[in-house]
Amino acid sequence: MQSYPINKDDMDENAGASAQCANDNAPFKGIVGQSTTMQDVFRLVERVADSDSTILINGETGTGKGMIAHAIHKQSYRRDQPFVSINCGAIPENLLESELFGHIKGAFTGATANKIGKFEAANEGTIFLDEIGDMSHDLQVKILKVLEEQKFEPVGGCRTITVNVRIIAATHRDLEEEVQKGNFREDLFYRLYVIPIKLPALRERITDLPYFVSHFIDKLNKKKKTAVESISDAALQSLMQHSWPGNVRELANLMERLVVIKGDGQIDVGDLPPKMRNNAPLHPFVAPEISGDGICLNTAVSEFEKRLIYQSLEKTKWVKNKAAQLLHVKRTTLVEKIKRYELEKCA
Ligand SMILES: Nc1ncnc2c1ncn2[C@@H]1O[C@H](COP(=O)(O)OP(=O)(O)O)[C@@H](O)[C@H]1O
Ligand SMILES: [Mg+2]
């Protein structure tokens, strides 16, 4: 069985330089990422941070887009200037324009005073346009103009404001596909797509999971004044079989629940939510990344076999004849393997 460093001393020994900076203002402080894909992301961030080029971060929800955007700002020469973040998907469309560009008193009902927009607030610093793929067509036109000219007019105003801001945008959507579908302007897409950064899903860098677990246990012990020491190997293995649709956010929330409820000692399989315990449905296999410690081929191959068998059983509602046919094996062979892997139908 592959073993992962889950105590802090082991981790520091294995830590990549970029992700583990000591000083409090370090751009990557608190960002976990030992997998080669994340180490590549850190290297790219270091290279492009100071360039002022527009960056488009893409990744599923909870993969750390906001965190990386902030790290880019902290790594850039603008680090002492404002970092202003706005979630374009969370603000009602009629308010978004005023949030971005500000408004003057009386511009619309409720505009009782002049208001500075996010672009102006971010002057000399960085603006982070989160979930930019959720923006309406009208606003896409206006944003394009700001990106090209760094100029805009507040809602209801006739004065043009010029700013100097670095743009970082993020989306969980496939923007190229949105362009094809006609939902996102092609010109804006190309204006944003200068330096793309793709954040992998947690299941695609599952070798990072033990580091995340240690990181969250440490962090939560301090914050919640708890004394959880570790997690058992079996529990860790179960977590590594989950597909984590909510990515790091899902893991962070689960760890908070586990640490607070456990309080001290070791987290074990019995502490996990039922769907994550060992006999939970297995997700399609994602090949694990081979870390510096190597990987046990036999274990990995068995795991692969187990998942295919489980999948075929689920597909055939556990009718073994049919499952055996799907896998092109004899029924007796299948039954033998089901026994060996202790596979059981989940309630
Ligand atoms: N690499 C990482 N290291 C430590 N914490 C992370 C990492 N990636 C994400 N997180 C945590 O997960 C949560 C979701 O991250 P966030 O940046 O908001 O994701 P996104 O914007 O992609 O939805 C945050 O609480 C963040 O602190
Ligand atoms: Mg986000």
Per-residue pLDDT, 11: 41
- What's the CA-to-centroid distance between 312 and ligand 2, angstroms? 36
Residue 66 Cβ contacting ligand 1 at under 6 Å: yes
- Asked whether the domain spanning 203-276 has the same topology as the one spanning 36-198, the reply is no
- What's the CA-to-centroid distance between 66 and ligand 1, angstroms? 7
- What's the CA-to-centroid distance between 65 and ligand 2, angstroms? 6
Which of 21, 32, 61, 67 for mutating ligand 1's site (highest number of atoms within 8 Å of CB)? Answer: 67
Does the pLDDT at position 306 exceed 50? yes
Report the DSSP pairing between strands 195-198 and 227-231: unpaired
Q: Would you kindly state where each structural domain of the chain is located, as residue ranges?
A: 36-198, 203-276, 297-340
Per-residue pLDDT, 4: 37
Per-residue pLDDT, 282: 53
Nearest-CA neighbor of 30 among 65, 83, 67?
67
Q: What is the pLDDT of residues 14-24, one digit of tens each?
A: 333 334 333 44
Topology classification of domain 297-340: Arc Repressor Mutant, subunit A (1.10.10)
Residue nearest to atom 24 of ligand 1 (CA): 249
Mean pLDDT of the region 316-341: 91
Residue 63 Cβ contacting ligand 1 at under 6 Å: yes
Residue nearest to atom 10 of ligand 1 (CA): 64
Does the pLDDT at position 197 exceed 50? yes
Residue 31 Cβ contacting ligand 1 at under 6 Å: yes
Which numbered atom of ligand 1 lies nearest the CA of 208? Answer: 1
Q: What is the pLDDT of residues 204-235, one digit of tens each?
A: 999 999 999 999 999 999 999 999 999 998 89
Residue 16 Cβ contacting ligand 1 at under 6 Å: no
How far apart (Å, rounded) are the C-alpha atoms in residues 125 and 244?
34
Per-residue pLDDT, 285: 58
Mean pLDDT of the region 303-324: 89
Distances (CA, A) of 268 to 58, 207, 238, 312: 34, 19, 10, 29
Mean pLDDT of the region 44-53: 96
Residue 35: CA count within 13 A, CB half-sphere: 20
- What's the CA-to-centroid distance between 240 and ligand 2, angstroms? 23
What is the domain class of 36-198 according to CATH?
Answer: alpha beta
Q: What is the pLDDT of residues 144-178, one digit of tens each?
A: 999 999 999 999 988 899 999 999 999 999 999 99
Rounded to a whole number, what is the distance in angstroms from the first to the last CA of the chain? 28
Under DSSP, the state recorded for 123 is T
Contact 29, 169 (CB under 8 A): no
- What's the CA-to-centroid distance between 69 and ligand 2, angstroms? 10
Per-residue pLDDT, 296: 76
Rg (C-alpha) for the chain, rounded Å, is 24
Identify the top-confidence range among 93-107, 111-125, 278-292, 303-317: 111-125
Residue nearest to atom 9 of ligand 1 (CA): 64
Report the DSSP pairing between strands 161-162 and 151-152: antiparallel
Residue 169 Cβ contacting ligand 1 at under 6 Å: no
Nearest-CA neighbor of 202 among 173, 241, 236, 235?
241
Which numbered atom of ligand 1 lies nearest the CA of 59? Answer: 22
How far apart (Å, rounded) are the C-alpha atoms in residues 90 and 135?
10
- What's the CA-to-centroid distance between 88 and ligand 2, angstroms? 10
Residue 280 Cβ contacting ligand 1 at under 6 Å: no
DSSP notation for 125-168: SEEEEETGGG--HHHHHHHHHHHHHSEE--BT----EE---EEE
Other residues' Cβ atoms within 10 Å of the Cβ of residue 74: 19
Topology classification of domain 203-276: Helicase, Ruva Protein; domain 3 (1.10.8)
Nearest-CA neighbor of 306 among 325, 279, 267?
279
Residue 82 Cβ contacting ligand 1 at under 6 Å: no
Q: Which two tokens stand for residue 283?
A: 């997700």
Q: Phi and psi dihedrals of 106, rounded to 5?
A: 85, 5
- What's the CA-to-centroid distance between 61 and ligand 2, angstroms? 7
Does the pLDDT at position 298 exceed 80? no
Confidence tier at 314 by pLDDT (50, 70, 90)? confident
Nearest-CA neighbor of 89 among 80, 81, 99?
99
Residue 117 Cβ contacting ligand 1 at under 6 Å: no
Contact 166, 125 (CB under 8 A): yes
Nearest-CA neighbor of 197 among 46, 21, 34, 32?
46
Does the pLDDT at position 262 exceed 70? yes
Please report which residue ranges of the chain form alpha helices under DSSP H.
8-14, 36-48, 65-75, 93-101, 118-121, 137-149, 175-181, 186-192, 209-224, 233-241, 247-262, 297-315, 320-327, 331-340
Selected residue with higher pLDDT from 3 and 25: 25
Does the pLDDT at position 5 exceed 70? no
Residue nearest to atom 27 of ligand 1 (CA): 67
pTM for the model:
0.77
Does the pLDDT at position 279 exceed 80? no
Q: Which two tokens stand for residue 73?
A: 């700002």
- What's the CA-to-centroid distance between 96 and ligand 2, angstroms? 17
Q: Which two tokens stand for residue 337?
A: 């393997």
How far apart (Å, rounded) are the C-alpha atoms in residues 40 and 278?
32
